[in-house]
Amino acid sequence: MSGPAAFAMSRVPPGIETPKLRRDEPLARHTSMRVGGPADLFCEVDTDEELGTWIAWARQRSVSVFLLGGGTNLVVGDGGIRGLTLKLGRPFAQCDWREEGTEARVVVGAAANFKRFVVDTLDRGYGGLEFAEGIPGTIGGGVIMNAGAFGGEMGDVVEALRGVDIDGQSRRLPSSELRFSYRHLDLPRGFVVTALEIHLHRGDRDVLAARAADARAKRGKHQPVGHPNAGSVWKNPPGDFAGRLIQKVGLRGERVGGAQISPQHANFIVNVDKARAADIGILMDRTRDRVWEERGVWLQAEVKLIGDWGLR
Ligand SMILES: Cc1cc2nc3c(=O)[nH]c(=O)nc-3n(C[C@H](O)[C@H](O)[C@H](O)COP(=O)(O)OP(=O)(O)OC[C@H]3O[C@@H](n4cnc5c(N)ncnc54)[C@H](O)[C@@H]3O)c2cc1C
């Protein structure tokens, strides 16, 4: 650890120098891809106040902050993440349901498990999130990524976001201030989502169960299982599918080091044998170049490449 983080470590906020603060935390442990070097400083926070204190503290000292969700849409560089990595703890995973007639308004903590929350809505007989059946990670990461599948996306159900801004102040952003687009949400810089306000409508349980089963079956049929991955690597270009293009240029099954373009679905990269982030980066560069040269399409990454990648 060096630079701002070393300076920072010697001056953690009063009352927060706790055993929870870790140095050089290996991020491969926190990502579904199972790659990534260490976070200089890593802390799980349990309250809005604690989160706000850390954010304000880091801002005053020019220490960069990264907010880690479930780590299912990330590839963290082998050099790790400089500065402070924060993760929302269990108290941010609670749900508060208000059911009235055929509608429900739910305040769900950003650290709640996305898959489990979807199952809960279906068990209670509410529709709106069936599309998300099987999407891993946290619901906070889900809204930041505007996660979606089979024609639905998070932006369809979110009424407002609660969170902490870059000055460490609590704020509520109503949906009129939220700009969702394909796998993206525009938020004020540094805004950390702590909870989502979601509006759901009661549906026919059999129909909901059938839709969820359909989504589950499609996922099981098309997506690779058994090896660590981070979901779709590339966004689908307008009118086409990234996986189809990658297959057409002959890269399905291509391997670099311990990383491989999945033989099952070419828009997935799987960690087949102790991959380094650099292996994944090389595969991604190769894919983007080949698809551009042979098909004239410039692919855009859906996974987020985070942290220190060095030269490759
Ligand atoms: C097997 C598999 C299948 C998948 N299928 C799908 C799919 O069908 N559809 C789809 O859209 N995605 C899919 N994904 C990708 C991923 O699961 C989703 O994007 C998920 O919603 C990411 O949530 P996360 O908590 O893991 O976020 P992370 O990967 O931890 O973070 C993603 C981004 O969100 C930011 N972030 C996370 N939480 C917060 C917060 N509380 N406040 C502010 N910023 C935050 C992070 O800083 C980062 O920039 C899949 C992934 C896997 C591994």
137-169 pLDDT, tens digit each: 999 999 999 999 988 999 999 999 999 998 888
Q: Which residues are catalytic?
A: 183, 232, 302
Q: What is residue 252's three-state secondary structure?
A: coil
| Predicted pLDDT at 312 | 44
| Predicted pLDDT at 225 | 82
Dist. CA 100–CA 77, nearest whole Å: 47
**H or E element at residue 271:** strand 269-271
pTM, to two decimals: 0.93
| Predicted pLDDT at 235 | 97
R_g of the chain, CA atoms, integer Å: 20
Which of these, 82, 2, 5, 79, lies nearest to 36 by C-alpha position? Answer: 79
DSSP state of 37: -
| Predicted pLDDT at 273 | 96
Q: Sort 279 into a burial class: Cβ within 10 Å, 0-12 / 13-18 / 19+.
A: buried
| Predicted pLDDT at 88 | 98
Which CATH number applies to 242-306: 3.60.15.10, 3.90.78.10, 1.10.10.10, 2.40.50.140?
3.90.78.10
Q: What share of the chain is helix, strand, coil (3-state, %, to 5)?
A: 30, 30, 40
Instruction: Read off the tokens for 1.
Output: 């650890």
Q: How far is the CA of 137 from the centre of ligand 1 (A)?
A: 6
| Predicted pLDDT at 223 | 83
Of 139, 144, 191, the residue with max ligand 1 atoms within 8 A of its CB, to mutate for a pocket test, comes to 144
Q: Where are the domains of the chain?
A: 3-88, 92-222, 242-306
Q: What is residue 123's three-state secondary structure?
A: helix
**Which CATH number is 92-222 given?**
3.30.465.10
Class of domain 3-88: alpha beta
Nearest atom (ligand 1) to Cα of 194: 41
Residues of the chain with pLDDT under 50: 2-4, 7, 312
